[in-house]
Structure 1
Amino acid sequence: MTLGWLGIVRLGLVQMSLGGMVVLTTSTLNRLMVVELALPAVLSGLLVALHYAVQVTRPSWGYRSDTCGNRTRWIVGGMATLALGAFLAALGVVWMHTAFWPGLVLSVLAYLMIGLGAGMGGTSLLALMATCTRPERRAAAATITWLMMIFGIAATAGTVGALLDPYTPERLLRLVGAVCAGGLVVTVLATWRIERGLISEPEPEPAPLLEGLREIWAEPRARIFTFFVLLSMTAYFMQELILEPYAGLVFGLTPGQTTSLSGAQNAGVFVGMLAVGIGQTGLRIGALRSWVVAGCLGSALALTGIALIGQMHLPLIVPAVVLMGLFNGMFAVAAIGSMMQLAGEGRHAREGTRMGLWGAAQAVAAGFGGLVGAAAADTLTQFASNSTAYGLVFLFEAVLFVISALMALRILEGGRAAPAGRLVPGE
């Protein structure tokens, strides 16, 4: 027995809860540290990079879920860790108002927990989907669950943004606490007995983790796709920590307005993902490669526009960000669809470890991209205006997206990775 559509939607509810909790730490709390507390952007960048760095443990969590025969326990345990970490991160920001160092120590602990929780729960969730979803449904399953995640991100950012003004620390803690508690309850209800009757047996003679990783790394498709994930996700995440500060410093938006801006961006991501889902599963328009390339090039164009409107002081930040979100969504869901397809290839019972490897690559790229973007913005503001400094970072990100599009043309073919011989000459 495999996952039906209802089961896929139930797992999507977990992704929705995960997205809602994570967006608070990467957007709202980040903006409060940079603008309201006047801390260097690189500090919040380091904290977010820390939570991504911890996610290099994703292959380990995937391996554990491959071999234990019960992925639900890792999903729920991860989400509980994430919920507690997200609330402690908000408390850390509040403490920084009056006691900086205790607040910073608490924030470090909180972001460690966020990374562990997201890695544990997210990897096990994707592994369950890759293992128990029929191959012809995997692209659609990826679309559904990521649409629900983006809906959770957009709804949380928009709602919290509307309720956060006028900002007070007490209001922040109440809102974050409500989001985290609600997300954990949804996770428990959504995963209750979901694995009953599913085909998700553990590997009968599990090999050690490092041996399993070596086996996967020996697969040309898996190896080269890992490099693509590193580059493209670096481009995807470079703006994550600087977009809201940019909107606040250059366009004068309030904390609530910039949080709502993040919601508008993710609403665009939702529409972009929906377009791919309809095009792929309903209208049969375009291969996954075409959607990946279109998403990369469109994202590059939108980022260029975001940089230029800051220079020209045009009040077009909201539509520009929505457009960027639209193309980001196209790229992301098409890339995830390719990942879901490739996860089921190669040696059986390695789906979790394979998804963990790519999840770790994504986490490294996200942490590196976010940190580099924040550090570059901090450095450039010492020599140029805010609009110019941030604009240069956006333009560099656009260049990376163009390179990613060229790489996708090279390594993806008809929605599947191209044969290894066409990717690495002489192999």
Structure 2
Amino acid sequence: MNSIRPGAWIGWTGIFRLGLVQASIGAIAMLATSLLNRVMVVEYGFAAAIPAGLVAWHYAVQLSRPLWGQGSDNGRRRTPWIVGGMAILAAGALLAVEATTLHSMMPAGAMTLAIAGFTLIGAGVGAAGTSMLALLASGVAPERRAAAASVTWIMMVAGIVVSAGVAGALLEPFSQGRLIRVAAGVAGCALALTCLATWRLERGGSPAATVKSDPPPELREALREIFGEGEARRFTLFIFVSMLAYSMQDLILEPFAGLVFAMSPGQSTQLSGTQHGGVLLGMIMAGIGGSAFAGRLPSDLRIWIVGGCLGSALALSGLAVAASFGAGWPLAANVFALGFANGVFAVSAIGAMMGLAGAGARTREGVRMGVWGAAQAIAFGLGGLTGALGVDFARADGMGTAAAFRLIFACEAGLFALAALLAVSAARRSTQTVRST
């Protein structure tokens, strides 16, 4: 059987509590992929490929997401996986910060510590994030799943915005000691908030064991079932391309602000907060529209997904122009527009993801969310590394700093346009399937 229990046990209070978990994950991830990336490149003089490679490695570690999902599916409760993952994530972030500050004194040892830290970050995000999404999909009534996913993602972005703004303000003036204290504060608060948010959340039931009456299949069989579904394959391809486009700017935006617009660490961190503020508003607007909560990918979601992808392409084209225009360009407004468009397509894609999460004949939510999380992780790892290496190679080839950033932003715009085409194609095929059925 493949039905959620009639009395779905997670209400809106529980949904908002899980949103606090998402906010905590986002706050710590901001340290590794945004703040620490900028500090390594600008303040410590690293080649952009070094933090990009570390971030790509933490995404490679997240290929283990289906395993984490399978483990939480087989367990009686998902909360230990969430809290344990957050503890690993916090420890990894602190280790990565410590490795950065030690690089000038012991480069080889510091790099070893950095690799270990980003390994823990990847494992923590995989365990906590996949288990949280599986808990959300298995414990929320079907008609609420996509709306609940949107609420939790909005809260995650809000957590990133708040943590980026506070961290940016506390880092001024920048010093090594301030960096360590700010990172410890963010990680400690995020872990404590996760523990409070999940405290006795699963006391009303054992969701991992009661969602489906049949025993879960082995991981290989579950993967075969998922990739045998045409709609799931098409959706996975769209997720990969769109996230590849998004992640290419993720690691170069703050260095771009520092190298081309001469922004300080605090200013560029706050610029990242501006971007995520735009993401937040885009998610809210898409959610209010209502179509993002349908849980499928046909025409009801197409306008939001395609519009978000095309808007992202236009905003990235603006950043390409900004690289040549210089200091007079309205950079903050451009970055905010990029975030807004990203938020529109992201919340629509999340709505479709949650609608498909419980659609398997035997596979449970943990494995399915793990597969899509792994696809996203591959795209993010490749995108971040490609963007950073592209900038490094272009600069080394004599193109110049501004021209190098302009080239990468233009490539990202093209990928977002491709993602829009894939979304249109997937929607048409899904609609044809529904009509024929």
TM-score range for the pair, normalised by the shorter chain length: over 0.9
> Which deviations, in whole Å up to 9, do the C-alpha atoms of 1:386-420 show, x marking residues without a partner?
1110111001000000000011011136xx95466
Q: Which residue of 1 aligns with 2:175?
A: 168
Q: How does 1:36-51 map to 2 (within 5 A)?
A: 36-51=43-58
Q: Which residue of 2 aligns with 1:239?
A: 249
Residue 68 (structure 1) aligned with residue 75 (structure 2): yes
2:84 aligned counterpart, secondary structure: helix
Q: 2:229 aligns with which of 193, 196, 219?
A: 219
Q: Which residue of 1 aligns with 2:404?
A: 389
Identity of aligned residues (%): 49
Q: Which residue of 2 aligns with 1:405?
A: 420
Q: Which residue of 2 aligns with 1:127?
A: 134
Q: Which residue of 1 aligns with 2:308?
A: 295
Q: Any conservation in 1 of the 2:160–2:273 contact (CA below 8 Å)?
A: yes
> Which deviations, in whole Å up to 9, do the C-alpha atoms of 1:359-390 show, x marking residues without a partner?
00000000000000000010011221211101
Q: Which residue of 2 aligns with 1:319?
A: 333
Residue 280 (structure 1) aligned with residue 294 (structure 2): no
Structure 1: distance between partners of 2:152 and 2:374: 19
How far the C-alpha of 1:206 sits from its partner, in A, is: 3.2
Give the 3 Å change call, closer, same or farther, for CA 417–139 of structure 1 in structure 2: farther
Q: 1:304 aligns with which of 296, 314, 317?
A: 317
Residue 10 (structure 1) aligned with residue 17 (structure 2): yes
Structure 1: distance between partners of 2:311 and 2:104: 40
How far the C-alpha of 1:288 sits from its partner, in A, is: 2.1
Residue 344 (structure 1) aligned with residue 358 (structure 2): yes
> Which deviations, in whole Å up to 9, do the C-alpha atoms of 1:251-301 show, x marking residues without a partner?
0000111111101110111100111111117999x8322111111000000
Structure 1: distance between partners of 2:274 and 2:268: 9
Q: 1:377 aligns with which of 391, 404, 423?
A: 391
> Which deviations, in whole Å up to 9, do the C-alpha atoms of 1:36-58 show, x marking residues without a partner?
11111111110000000000000
Q: Any conservation in 1 of the 2:86–2:125 contact (CA below 8 Å)?
A: yes
Give the 3 Å change call, closer, same or farther, for CA 107–345 of structure 1 in structure 2: same
Structure 2: distance between partners of 1:342 and 1:205: 19
Structure 2: distance between partners of 1:417 and 1:46: 37
How many residues matched? 419
Q: Any conservation in 2 of the 1:81–1:114 contact (CA below 8 Å)?
A: yes
1:167 aligned counterpart, secondary structure: coil
Q: Any conservation in 1 of the 2:241–2:415 contact (CA below 8 Å)?
A: yes
Q: Any conservation in 2 of the 1:27–1:259 contact (CA below 8 Å)?
A: yes
Structure 1: distance between partners of 2:293 and 2:15: 21
More divergent stretch after superposition (197-206 vs 57-66): 197-206
Structure 2: distance between partners of 1:77 and 1:207: 25
How far the C-alpha of 1:350 sits from its partner, in A, is: 1.6
How far the C-alpha of 1:207 sits from its partner, in A, is: 2.3
Residue 150 (structure 1) aligned with residue 163 (structure 2): no
**Length-normalised TM-score, structure 1:** 0.95
Structure 2: distance between partners of 1:227 and 1:323: 25
- The one-letter amino acid paired with 1:394 is F
Q: Which residue of 2 aligns with 1:425?
A: none
2:207 aligned counterpart, secondary structure: coil
Q: Any conservation in 2 of the 1:221–1:418 contact (CA below 8 Å)?
A: no
What is the RMSD computed on CA atoms of the aligned residues? 1.9
- The one-letter amino acid paired with 2:218 is P
Structure 2: give runs of 5+ residues left out of the alignment: 1-6
Q: How does 1:254-273 map to 2 (within 5 A)?
A: 254-273=264-283
Structure 1: distance between partners of 2:343 and 2:216: 36
More divergent stretch after superposition (259-268 vs 129-138): 129-138
Q: Any conservation in 1 of the 2:217–2:362 contact (CA below 8 Å)?
A: no
1:98 aligned counterpart, secondary structure: coil
Give the 3 Å change call, closer, same or farther, for CA 110–196 of structure 1 in structure 2: same
Give the 3 Å change call, closer, same or farther, for CA 283–367 of structure 1 in structure 2: closer
Runs of 4+ in structure 1 off by over 3 angstroms are 281-284, 416-422
Structure 2: distance between partners of 1:192 and 1:29: 31
Structure 1: distance between partners of 2:192 and 2:291: 31
How far the C-alpha of 1:348 sits from its partner, in A, is: 4.4
**Length-normalised TM-score, structure 2:** 0.92
Structure 2: distance between partners of 1:421 and 1:139: 20
Structure 2: distance between partners of 1:8 and 1:341: 16
Structure 2: distance between partners of 1:201 and 1:35: 46
Q: How does 1:73-112 map to 2 (within 5 A)?
A: 73-112=80-119
Q: Any conservation in 2 of the 1:132–1:199 contact (CA below 8 Å)?
A: no
Q: Which residue of 1 aligns with 2:371?
A: 357
How far the C-alpha of 1:5 sits from its partner, in A, is: 0.4
- The one-letter amino acid paired with 1:247 is A
